Structure 1
Amino acid sequence: MAIGQATRKAPIPAPLVDEAHTAAKQETAVFAGGCFWGVQSVYNRVKGVEHTTAGYSGGDAHTATYGQVTTETTGHAESLKIVYDSSKISYGTLLRIFFSVVHDPTQLNRQGPDVGTSYRSAIFYTSEDQKKVAEAYIAQLDSEKIYPAKIVTQVVPLKGFYDGEAYHQDYADHNPNNPYIQVCDVPKMAALKVQFPDLFKEYNGH
């Protein structure tokens, strides 16, 4: 399967269980799906997403630096904090994008060329509702055999999110000609536009 499912022609099925539609309200989602550059480049282009921050989750505050996280000893995963308007987009739809174009959820502790627990697939839920939606969706996708292998995405409580260094923020947009970005992340952004045209928005950086 290609990195970020970029070869998929249509999005995967929508979740059968989702959070209820609400009046305008800011909510937070935290996902890990490989290098946070690509995850951020996708969600920056999703309507209803108000702000994103690349950072670290899963470990302790004192080890939340890029130099330490890359040693694969901190328990952290490169993660993305997504602040969204729940009246415009649901948590389930954010998950649908996560599983459709962001990464391959069947790869254990890696994404493409990036190997290690810091590149694991994880959903850090902030409420019991998010946990319920995430677990039900994974069970749905596995039962429908959407992927050739079982989903290995962790669903764990968010204990802390720590902002990444400034140079990591919007990295793909600030470095569009970087070979890694061209190979790994540009296809994800293109897949988002093709698979979710009604949710796609242009993005020019913060």
Structure 2
Amino acid sequence: MRPNRVGMALSALAAAATLMVLTSASGANALPDPKVDETPTPGSETAVLGGGCFWGVEAVFEHVRGVSDVISGYAGGDADSATYREVSSGRTGHAESVRITYDPSQVTYGQLLKVFFEVAHDPTELNRQGPDRGTQYRSAIFYANEEQKRIAEAYIRQIDAAGVYPDPIVTQITPLAGFYTAEDYHQDYLPRHPTQPYILINDQPKLTELERRLPELYRSR
């Protein structure tokens, strides 16, 4: 599915360099707060997002204030089931994704999207993130209702108008047809494998950037 994480050291280093360039560039042009957002009322809502390898995306949102649970899984495909082996073939149409459970009174859907676009992944990459290639690594927002769709579409227009990225955002906005939880060994992967080379190079820097650039949304786990 992904390249060998030890043997493909050069690819991983290249991905790290890309991340450094991205965070440096967007640090000069920080993402704006979303103008269109949900009402911050107490409760429990879910968001499903795909941004490349779910290990790092999951880890980022587990450190976001107001998030109570993050599950790695698969979404966006035509098949009525999804497993690691099936999705890695690239033939099911699914994308590696995370399902985020959160309290809108502490963090809104729009703020989750700000984290998603600013530190969780690169939304200008089509069917790839860092060393990972394929449609299963595409950038995607799977909306559960019309309000989520409206917020996502408005925020992408707002980011594009702000000129934050030199390239256009290619994130798909599609209805959530189903979410399939990934195998147990994918869950909480980063805290269980903190010294793995792939994690150190590709995912740990995202947590550093979350705390540095969005301290008002960051929390220690």
When normalised by structure 2's length, the TM-score is 0.88
- Give the structure 2 partner of residue 121 of structure 1: 139
Say if 1:35 and 1:78, in contact at 8 Å, map to a contact too. yes
- Give the structure 2 partner of residue 14 of structure 1: 33
Which portions of structure 1, spanning 4 or more consecutive aligned residues, are displaced by more than 4 angstroms? none
- Give the structure 2 partner of residue 85 of structure 1: 103
User: Bigger shift: 165-174 or 52-61?
Assistant: 52-61
- Give the structure 1 partner of residue 116 of structure 2: 98
Residue 192, structure 1, aligned to residue 210, structure 2: yes
- Give the structure 2 partner of residue 156 of structure 1: 174
Unpaired segments ≥5 residues, structure 1: none
- Give the structure 2 partner of residue 28 of structure 1: 46
Q: What's the offset of the Cα at 1:63?
A: 3.8
Q: What's the offset of the Cα at 1:2?
A: 2.9
Say if 2:81 and 2:180, in contact at 8 Å, map to a contact too. no
Residue 3, structure 1, aligned to residue 19, structure 2: yes
Secondary structure in 2 aligned to 1:50?
strand
Q: What's the offset of the Cα at 1:182?
A: 0.4
From 64, 74, 85, give the equivalent of 2:82.
Answer: 64
Distance 1:145 1:87 in 2: 29
Say if 1:63 and 1:69, in contact at 8 Å, map to a contact too. no
- Give the structure 2 partner of residue 177 of structure 1: 195
Distance 1:61 1:86 in 2: 32
In terms of fraction of residues, the more helix-rich structure is: 2
From 38, 63, 66, give the equivalent of 1:45.
Answer: 63
Distance 1:186 1:122 in 2: 22
Say if 1:61 and 1:162, in contact at 8 Å, map to a contact too. no
Say if 1:6 and 1:188, in contact at 8 Å, map to a contact too. no
Secondary structure in 2 aligned to 1:2?
helix
Q: Deviations over 1:182-202 (max 9, x none)?
A: 010010000000011122111
Secondary structure in 1 aligned to 2:27?
coil
Say if 1:3 and 1:111, in contact at 8 Å, map to a contact too. no
Distance 1:133 1:31 in 2: 14
Distance 1:167 1:53 in 2: 12
Distance 1:116 1:60 in 2: 16
Say if 1:125 and 1:155, in contact at 8 Å, map to a contact too. yes
Q: What's the offset of the Cα at 1:55?
A: 0.2
Q: What's the offset of the Cα at 1:62?
A: 4.3
Q: What's the offset of the Cα at 1:53?
A: 0.2
Q: What amino acid is aligned across from residue 71 of structure 1 in structure 2?
A: S
- Give the structure 2 partner of residue 168 of structure 1: 186
Secondary structure in 2 aligned to 1:106?
coil
Instruction: Output the aligned Cα RMSD.
Output: 1.5
